[in-house]
Amino acid sequence: MVGAAIVGRLEREGCTIIRESRDHVDLRRQGEVEAFVAAERPDMVFVAAAKVGGIHANSTFPADFLYDNLMIEANIINACARGSVRKLLFLGSSCIYPREAAQPISEDALLTGPLEPTNEWYAIAKIAGIKLCQAYRRQHGCDFISAMPTNLYGPGDNFHPENSHVPAALLRRIHEAKQSGAREVTIWGTGRPRREFLYVDDLAEACVFLMTHYSDEAPINVGTGEDLTITDFATAIRETVGYDGVFRYDSTRPDGMARKVLDVSRINGLGWRARTSLRDGLALYYQWFLDNLERFRS
């Protein structure tokens, strides 16, 4: 999802995009990554590749989430340093911050407390990627930066019924309930946690902006700076889909952090702000889902 959005944004700039499928370059394999970077000699690199998923996926596949993400980021960052790539942007995640961090969460909160247990494997890998960028900057003078996006939604999302993130899971359940005539939709957890949601094209815009306006070892947050409860978010999706049923809460499922909203004053101070409203973003999101419905029938 993120990679496709960044590619689309760069194409509008007239950039030459270096493409290769995962079938030909396994980013978990050091030799393959080094050979690819050496052959293509990119000028700038956006590290959006990652193994991602929601609470269920993180809890079910902890080894995969830790190993795959460590290998992907280590291989890319090291190969880019050896290949003298001019600039690299590593994308982390808001889950890198401590569970009890003060809200909104500033970049300075990193490594100041324990992580949220439901996604710690992914978070630890992402923290390692941030630190690796810092280390190559300090030791080798590499212009490597890292950005921490908040929760994302948009075209290209993963709508797997068990392993998807909150936006995709809710959109699919509510759409299917409307189609089947079901009178209720299950929401995992209590619906009370507060979350911030960013449309993926806004993130792509931020990534391109940071490549030309930011150069520092400190990670920088990317988000809207606004949050709402999961119930309110589900209600917004229900209105977008046109579903008139009710919500049922499965409190046996974990809520995760009680609140997670980013302090985006640093990137706002540089001149960037999110532009897509939640209403407009969800309308675009749902239309893309409808246009690609056949791929989700499983």
255 is in an annotated binding site: yes
Beta bridge partner(s), residue 250: 188
Reading phi first (left if > 0) and then psi (alpha if -120 to 50, else beta), residue 28 is in alpha
Q: What are the backbone angles phi and psi of residue 185, rounded to the nearest 5°?
A: -125, 135
Q: Is 10 annotated as contributing to ligand binding? A: no
Beta bridge partners of 221: 148
Asked if residue 288 belongs to a known ligand binding site, the reply is: no
Find residue 246's DSSP bridge partners: 184
The response to whether 112 counts as a known ligand-binding position is no
Q: Has 150 been labeled as part of a binding site?
A: yes
- Is 93 annotated for ligand binding? yes
Q: Is 186 annotated as a binding residue?
A: no
Catalytic annotation, residues = 122
HEC readout, 127-191 = HHHHHHHHHHHHHHCCCEEEEEECEEECCCCCCCCCCCCHHHHHHHHHHHHHHHCCCEEEEECCC
CA–CA separation, 238 and 94 (whole Å): 26
Query: Is 173 labeled as ligand-binding?
Result: yes
Q: Is 141 a known ligand-binding residue? A: no
Query: Binding site: residue ranges?
Result: 91-94, 126, 149-152, 165, 173, 188, 195, 255
Annotated binding site for substrate: 173, 188, 195, 255
Known binding-site residue numbers for NADP(+): 91-94, 126, 149-152, 165
